[in-house]
Structure 1
Amino acid sequence: MKFENIRNLREDNDKTQKEVAAYLNIKQTTYSKYELGKINVPIDVFIKLADYYTVSIDYLVGRGKK
């Protein structure tokens, strides 16, 4: 599953993959794979991203509103 909302939020907030990856304490290449849907996003990463962008996890996975 490709998570376009993760990429869109990052771009809307003028963040680079490297910046978000640093916040998550992961490699940029790993974060890129999350955005592309090449690897599954762990729930703890969803929680951190939801907190980072102040949105719901449902929104991140395309199931609801911000």
Structure 2
Amino acid sequence: MAKFSERLRELRKERGLKQREMAEICGLKLRGYQQYEYNESYPEVPGLVALADFFGVSLDYLMGRTDKREISR
């Protein structure tokens, strides 16, 4: 299964967003966001939840724990 950094990059590209645009959405500087995609750091839990909500995927999918995108409700 994919790592967080790979999933994040894949989801960003599916939306047609640039890293700079994602950094703005996340309230980060470009380098801060790039660290996520380059597997150098992870967001804190509220940031992970915000990213999962933004992309409409489960946290388990975002973190690479499952290949199921759906959110269980």
TM-score between the two structures when normalised by the length of structure 2: 0.81
Q: Aligned letter for 1:21?
A: A
RMSD over aligned CA atoms reads: 1.4
Of all paired residues, the percent bearing the same amino acid is 33
2:46 is the counterpart of 1:44? yes
Q: Determine which structure has the larger helix proportion and give its number.
A: 1
Q: Which moved more, 1:26-35 or 1:36-45?
A: 36-45
Q: Residue 35 of structure 1 corresponds to which residue in structure 2?
A: 37
**Distance between the aligned counterparts of 2:42 and 2:50, measured in 1?**
15
TM-score between the two structures when normalised by the length of structure 1: 0.89
Give CA deviations for 1:2-41 in whole Å, capped at 9, x if unaligned.
Answer: 6200000001110111111111111111000011111232
**Distance between the aligned counterparts of 1:45 and 1:2, measured in 2?**
13
Q: Residue 57 of structure 1 corresponds to which residue in structure 2?
A: 59
Aligned length: 66
Q: Aligned letter for 2:41?
A: I
Q: Please, which runs of 5 or more residues in structure 1 have no aligned partner?
A: none
Q: Please, which runs of 5 or more residues in structure 2 have no aligned partner?
A: none
**Could you say which structure has the larger radius of gyration?**
2
